[in-house]
Structure 1
Amino acid sequence: MGKKESRSLITLCSFVCWHVWLSRNDLVFGRKVWQPTEVISAAIKAFQEFNAIPSNVISYPPSMVALPQQWIAPTTDYVKCNCDASYSANLNKSGVGFICRDHNGLPLIAISCPSSFSDILVGEAIVVQLSIMGMITNGFERVMIGFDNMNLITYIKDGGGTSPLHIRALVDNIIHLSSSFVSCCFFFIPQEINSVADSLTRRPLPLTCATD
């Protein structure tokens, strides 16, 4: 299997995991009971839509920008997403969370879920990947993604080649998925002003919230 085929397979698996997680939350909150075939069909449809994005769409490579030390609303055509991951060795618990907001600061998506990892860098990569998949599913075209791990931002900016082997596949998939947006940039946000996303990582129960 070539590199292109391997990357496509990893992306498909990511969409399957995303929809399995969404169906689990629907079951937990009593919204809907998904059949396995429905989950797979929805994941494949999302994957096919992702692959159907025209190659001639102007897409800017992932970039890194420095922003002021406070939350600033994006412009009207952008969605801004804050991500975070948390890990407690004492409690042996870990979780991820992200929130996407529009130019008015109103939340469009808020996600919180437990996730199994013991390396915070892995957790940060997982939540960035989840946030990108969530924004693709919701049809957002211009996005800004902020989190408080400068190392991960550097690995993404450098094209993944400098990333440690244990997160290489995650970083490669982040870069691949981010190419579907018309515009996508990654920025560093200090943890002290990333409090909303941070609080989502520490919730005792999973949370999924999307608004129209």
Structure 2
Amino acid sequence: METNDHIFLSCPFAKATWFGSTLSFIVPAQDDPKIRLWLQNWDRISFLNKRICEETLSLCLFTCWFLWIARNDLIFKKKNWTPIEVSQAALCAFEEFGEANGYYVTSTNSNSNQQYQAPSHWIPPHSGECKINCDAAFDPDSARGGLGVIARMSSRSQSFAISSPAFFGIVGTGEALAIRLGLLHSIQEGITNARFEYDCEIIISFMKEQSQTMPFEVQLVIHDIVLSTQFIVCNFYFIPREANVIAHSLARKALSMSVETAWPNFIPWLHPLCVNAALCQFTQ
């Protein structure tokens, strides 16, 4: 019978995951490691300060959780994870947890605090990750709104691009609707490792602190977004408008539409924008 100790520590897959993670932990080979004893002796490990101790323990627990997910996926879904995929998923979930609780996590590879810096231009996502840029546009003269979403993989290839007309009273609602639209299409495409980016800073504040006073219509949409459980990894980031130009163009296109439109990559006006966005990182 397979034990928790084997799944989390002693099996070769777990050992490779721990060693390949940012923790670079080497599971002792001479003994039969026990997860219970490891946690009981945690206080004996020397750390620079209490915060690093707490964050390291948190990352270890996320790693155990994703080792458990990987094992269940293998048994019940015949899906194979690699050790690096497990460690990356655990790290992303750990960082998302830190951001959601209002603090910036400390890098496990250095003693300095690192804060996420929004890029000034679009950059490709990490390997195995899909980046979904979202935006909303509103025309006060016609009282029409539009949503724009584009998803791209690390190869810079387009996964999907959507323009969708919408009706909303305030721009904040439109921005939240654009994120929800991106979530829905990502789920339809089977995307499980997603990074959502948008240029409305107030939305990320609402998502982090739902106790804040916000319009009721925004609150309903934010509630839908936060409750989404279809992803293994799902992170949300604020970026400046310059890094979100394609999503904005898609949203502007939607202002003159009556139905939602999925754009193929070879559309003349869209393809050059994607190419320029992918290449601009080399010219900054």
- Using structure 2 for the length normalisation, give the TM-score: 0.50
Q: Residues 118 and 240 of structure 2 are in contact (CA less than 8 Å); yes or no, is this contact kept in structure 1?
A: no
Q: What root-mean-square deviation, in Å, do the aligned CA atoms of Structure 1 and Structure 2 show?
A: 2.1
Partners of 1:66 and 1:135 lie apart in 2 by 25
Q: Residues 163 and 171 of structure 1 are in contact (CA less than 8 Å); yes or no, is this contact kept in structure 2?
A: no
SS of equivalent to 1:202? helix
1:197-208 residue pairs with structure 2 within 5 A?
197-203=247-253, 204-205=256-257, 206-208=260-262
1:180 counterpart (219, 227, 230): 230
Structure 1: 5+ residue stretches without partners: 1-55
1:129-144 residue pairs with structure 2 within 5 A?
129-144=180-195
Aligned to 1:7: none
More RCO (CA 8 Å, sep 6+): 1
Q: Structure 1 residue 172: deviation in Å?
A: 1.1
Aligned to 2:244: 194
Q: Residues 119 and 240 of structure 2 are in contact (CA less than 8 Å); yes or no, is this contact kept in structure 1?
A: no
The percent identity for this pair of structures is 26
Q: Structure 1 residue 163: deviation in Å?
A: 4.9
Structure 2: 5+ residue stretches without partners: 1-67, 70-88, 101-115, 266-284
SS of equivalent to 1:94? strand
Q: Structure 1 residue 99: deviation in Å?
A: 0.1
The 3 A distance-change label for structure 1 pair 146 and 161 is: same
Partners of 1:163 and 1:79 lie apart in 2 by 32
2:167 counterpart (92, 116, 119): 116
SS of equivalent to 2:227? helix
Partners of 1:202 and 1:105 lie apart in 2 by 22
SS of equivalent to 1:98? strand
1:69 counterpart (94, 116, 120): 120
Q: Residues 66 and 188 of structure 1 are in contact (CA less than 8 Å); yes or no, is this contact kept in structure 2?
A: no
Residue 128 of structure 2 is aligned to residue 128 of structure 1 = no
- CA displacement 1:178-202 (0-9 Å, x = unmatched): x321111111111122111111111
Partners of 2:167 and 2:146 lie apart in 1 by 7
- CA displacement 1:17-52 (0-9 Å, x = unmatched): xxxxxxxxxxxxxxxxxxxxxxxxxxxxxxxxxxxx
Partners of 1:198 and 1:163 lie apart in 2 by 27
Residue 167 of structure 2 is aligned to residue 167 of structure 1 = no
SS of equivalent to 1:69? coil
Greater gyration radius: 2
Partners of 1:74 and 1:153 lie apart in 2 by 20
- CA displacement 1:164-189 (0-9 Å, x = unmatched): 13311211110011x32111111111
Q: Which amino acid aligns with 2:235?
A: C
The 3 A distance-change label for structure 1 pair 114 and 79 is: same
Q: Structure 1 residue 210: deviation in Å?
A: 6.3
Residue 91 of structure 2 is aligned to residue 91 of structure 1 = no
Aligned to 2:205: 154
The 3 A distance-change label for structure 1 pair 171 and 83 is: same
SS of equivalent to 2:242? helix
Q: Structure 1 residue 68: deviation in Å?
A: 1.9
Q: In the comparison of the two structures, how many residue pairs are matched?
A: 154
Q: Which has the higher strand share?
A: 1
